[in-house]
Chains A and B, each alone.
Chain A
Amino acid sequence: MAFKNILKNVRIWIVIIALIFAVVAIHPVLDSKGAAIRNVIKDSAAEKAGIESPDPNTAPTKREVITSINNQLVNNIQDYEDIIKTLQLNQTVRINTNKGQYVLRTLPLTESIVLNETEWINKTFTEDNQTYTHLVLQNKTETKIIGMQDIGLKVYEAPTSNLRKGLDLQGGTRVLLQPENETSAEDMEIILENMKQRLNVFGLSDVIVKSASDLPVYLGGTGMDFIIVEIAGANEEEVKDLLSQQGKFEAKIANKTVFKGGNDITYVCRSSDCSGIDPTTGCGQNNGEWFCSFRFSISLNPEAAKKQAEATKDLDIVPSETEMRYLSEKLQLFLDDEMVDELNIAEGLKGQAVTEIEISGSGAGITQQAAVLDSLDNMKRLQTILITGSLPVKLNIVKTDSISPTLGKEFIKNSVFFAVLAMIGVALVIVIIYRKLVIAIPILITMISEIVLLLGTASLIGWNLDLAAIAGIIISVGTGVDDQIVITDETLRGEQKAYSLKERIKRAFFIIMAAYFVTVVAMLPLWFAGAGLLKGFALTTIIGVSIGVFITRPAFASLIELLLKE
């Protein structure tokens, strides 16, 4: 009878439907096998075979997972490492993933030694459109193969659900960087953009780069800005190496460095009067596709300008059908020795020591609007690169957290264990105090539902579960139990026979709402304090108690009401 009524209750159905959504969002995979790809190292055998680094926004269960190598099954990372150890130099390796098949060839690890001998070799030079070959005397080098290069994959245990484990739980490194001087919001954006660009160039994908700031000065904070870089699965040394590498920017013409980022570029214009869609050429249509040109100016210091004049004075002007004619060599932009862009040099610049250079480029799209957006994106990227060499301020490492993956793994196992024990403990206390089993059951169900709903929300919005979040879950579930006790007591122990059951539950909610508001306002300040490192704690608690008050508590009240009517 009671069961029938339970199924008729709207509030209980709301919880059931929310739970279904939560489980779908968490997407538990019971038989997860394989080694998931975290990163693909640049220029490695794996990258050459076409394996791509995953997009950090991909849900964990949608990541690419290696299932077999050379027809040997890969069930876990241990299998993967065992197979990798057996690989030989110049061996063909067949890697099967859940998304496709790749064939790669292991590459040799070489070392070049400059010998104390000289030799004559033929070198080809291009000058005035003519090719010459000269015999040149140079030091003899010897390339020795000293081993086999790693195939270039960083893997981790295939995810068992869409829950994202924070650094505390999966291991990895977090670094907090602080600009040496006060930075404007604009500069901060440049730094963030640069860091992301740089980490991308390094081929790291599981990376979070974000800014954080302290409480403003009038609230007792420092008001300082920070940059948080989080790299899962990397150790401290790797991250420190990465961050200590100065962003090296070089512009070359015919392999000769013309100017470098930093001192050579004195100014990159980003305001609308000297950057944006080129007003003279604008946009045009060709074969159904739109093209737009952008331009912006940069300023070089006189020395760089002189170098540029020398580099261009002997170049040819390439004939072209359009009005614009360019020089035979292009201006190539390198970021940390990797070419990121190539630009044509206008004929007018030949041999001129100009300090003001207009850099142009283009973008394409199906519609004119798309082409405009694409070219503006390209422009922003290029501007970022040009400024990258010259970070507006020096960054200091002020906090590092490097968490061992073994500790995290133990911790997850352990927390499931103690969570279950704690829930059993609470249920036992309830049974002893009320001497009614029937009350412990809805309380247990509500606790479990709240945990599932919280984890579902976490999966859905993609927030990382770390220790702080676990502390938040503990408070929300604990507050939940307190509230349920209030509801139970108000309905059960009401000597106030004059009031209806509904009225008594309403009175219980008066208390519950007060407690709810207090918890929320108590947690809000943490959102901003301490560079936002405790934000996860505040967020989980606030979401958790909100889920409780608005979803599970009404259902619990209905459940108690129905059970007590009997």
Chain B
Amino acid sequence: MSKKSRFKRWLRRQETPEEAEPAETKPEIHEIKHKNPLMEIYDKHYKKLLIIPFSILIIAFIIIGMQYFQTGDFFNKAIDIKGGISITIPTEKIVNADELQNILSPNFKKNEIDIRTLSVAGRQTGIIVDIDIDLNDEANIEKLISLLRKELDLTLQQGEYTITGIGSSLGKSFFRETLVAVLISFLAMSLVVFLYFRIPIPCLAIVLCSFSNIVITLAVVNLIGMRISTAGIAAFLMLIGYSVDTDILLTTIVLKRKEGTILERTIRAMKTGMTMTITTIIALSIALIFTQSDILKQIMTVVLIGCFADIVNTWIQNTGLLRWYLEKHGI
């Protein structure tokens, strides 16, 4: 059986047998003039438009590559991957992170210190001090706490601040595992997509779109200088789930439905898909501004960046590849 006839059989299988073929919906391919010049480009030059997502992808690879050559890692690792301790102090006292860093650094010459402030809706609610000292190094931890106590003029009794610590070898192994988890998730996602649609090229387009989302998001994360923690890696898993939704929507409507031209179906899918993405972006932005948790902030930032990347990758990259494939096969 040829590939094409198998595909046609699949299309028939997806239709409901009891329903009559929708009468006369098969469109004749003819030139349409679009009123909107953007639509004109989107329709006529979709192959050229593919340059945009692929250039972004290449730039993203370059950014990640540069990060790798400069630091030896693909991204900035947070303390829970490098190993060390992290202290979160809830305080509304305005703290200058750089100043505090300058005071602490001479006392911990061998260690790397990172100080951030936490804020909710622009109002500072706390500070986070990350430092790579061993979690069982009681003396240095006590030294750090008492320095902070003095500098911030807070009592800082046990229980008044949050302290988390992780051994460096454990951090490394957790990191490796979460990476493996992302890899397995990605493969499992690809498998589900292939089992669901069973046509190689459109499925590959979905998988490529998801992959591009991950790579571009990682590059943007590097650009804004965010340090990724285990939770941040878990956010990439969320991204896989979220971004594939719009691709499945697109592929289903364009492949399965018969009404209208490919472009009309794409636009129909895009209306739904953009509504989905916009609601997600609005909800994430609100949560990002108001959440108090550093971990949730990181998760939301990663998914938010991914949502923007997904708009380009789904509606230009995936759409273009899918249309190219369908037109080449004369469907």
Contacts and interface: CB of A to CB of B under 8 A. Distances in A.
A binds B: yes
Interface of A: 168, 171, 176, 178, 214-215, 219-222, 224, 235-237, 396-407, 410-411, 414-415, 417-419, 421-423, 425-426, 428-430, 433, 467-468, 470-471, 474-475, 478-479, 481-482, 485-486, 489-490, 493, 495-496, 498-499, 503, 506-507, 510-511, 514-515, 517-519, 521-526, 528-531, 533-534, 537
B173 A521 contact: no
B155 interface: no
A418 B287 contact: yes
Given A404-B90, A485-B272, A514-B192, A525 B158 contact: no
A507 B295 CA distance: 37
Contacts of A517: 192, 196
Given A398-B170, A404-B161, A496-B259, 17 more contacts: A220-B179, A235-B158, A399-B164, A401-B165, A405-B159, A410-B125, A474-B296, A478-B280, A479-B245, A482-B242, A482-B245, A482-B280, A498-B20, A503-B16, A515-B248, A523-B185, A524-B188
A224 B248 contact: no
Interface residues of B, number: 82
A527 to B, nearest CB: 9
Contacts of A507: 252, 256-257
A429 B278 contact: yes
Contacts of B40: none
B296 A467 contact: yes
Nearest to A515: B245
Interface of B: 16, 19-20, 22-23, 25, 88, 90, 120, 125-126, 135-136, 158-167, 169-170, 173-174, 176-186, 188-189, 191-193, 196, 230-231, 234, 237-238, 240-242, 244-245, 248-249, 252-253, 256-257, 259-260, 268, 271-272, 275-276, 278-280, 282-283, 286-287, 289-293, 295-296, 299
Contact of B178 (A219, A404, A515, A529): A529
A398 B167 CA distance: 5
A526 B244 contact: no
B114 to A, nearest CB: 18
**Majority-rule SS of B interface residues:** helix
Most buried by A among B161, B268, B283: B283
A467 B237 contact: no
Contact of B293 (A176, A396, A467, A525): A467
Given A399-B135, A518-B193, A525 B184 contact: yes
B163 to A, nearest CB: 5
B306 to A, nearest CB: 12
Contacts of B253: 511
Contact of B283 (A222, A422, A521): A422
Contacts of B271: 489, 493
Contact of B180 (A221, A414, A489, A499): A221
B191 A215 contact: no
A425 B282 contact: yes
Contact of B166 (A398, A429, A478): A398
> What 3 A-B pairs come out closest when comparing CB atoms?
A418-B290, A220-B180, A521-B188
Contacts of B252: 507, 510-511, 514
Nearest to B141: A236
A414 B159 contact: no
A489 B230 contact: no
Contacts of A531: 174
10 contacts: A398-B169, A433-B278, A481-B276, A493-B272, A503-B19, A507-B256, A515-B241, A518-B244, A521-B188, A534-B178
B279 A526 contact: no
A481 B88 contact: no
Contacts of A414: 120, 290-292
